Amino acid sequence: MNLSDHHTTLDLRRLDEARLGRELEHRRLRAERVAEIADAAEGVTDAAPTRRGIRALLPRRLGPLTPPRPAVS
């Protein structure tokens, strides 16, 4: 029985478990950062602000225009 094969397998398994632990920690940190950014950006969009001004006060369509009546004297 060759014991060096067992040690190599055991070492590889330990390295894989350590790598998995590091990878899970990186994923957790990334998820925390994304959550923090999402909380900070809540309500913020890339859309342009709505245009408010004189155009918002005007009616969308004008009715038919009637000529002014002449002044009676």
Higher-scoring residue by pLDDT: 16, 50: 16
Q: H/E/C letters for each residue in 13-72?
A: HHHHHHHHHHHHHHHHHHHHHHHHHHHHCCCCCCCCCCCCCHHHHCCCCCCCCCCCCCCC
pTM: 0.48
Domain of residue 31, residue span: 1-41
- For the chain, the domain total comes to 1
pLDDT, position 36: 87
pLDDT band at residue 14 using 50, 70 and 90 as cut-offs = very high
Please determine, for residue 10, whether its predicted confidence score (pLDDT) is greater than 70.
yes
The answer, yes or no, to whether residue 11 has pLDDT greater than 70, is yes
Q: Grade residue 41 by pLDDT with cuts at 50, 70 and 90.
A: confident
pLDDT of amino acid 46? 67
Residue 71 lies in a domain: no
Asked, for residue 60, whether it belongs to a domain, the answer is: no
Is residue 46, in this structure, part of any structural domain at all? no
Whether 18 maps to a domain, the answer reads: yes
Asked whether residue 47 is domain-assigned, the answer is: no
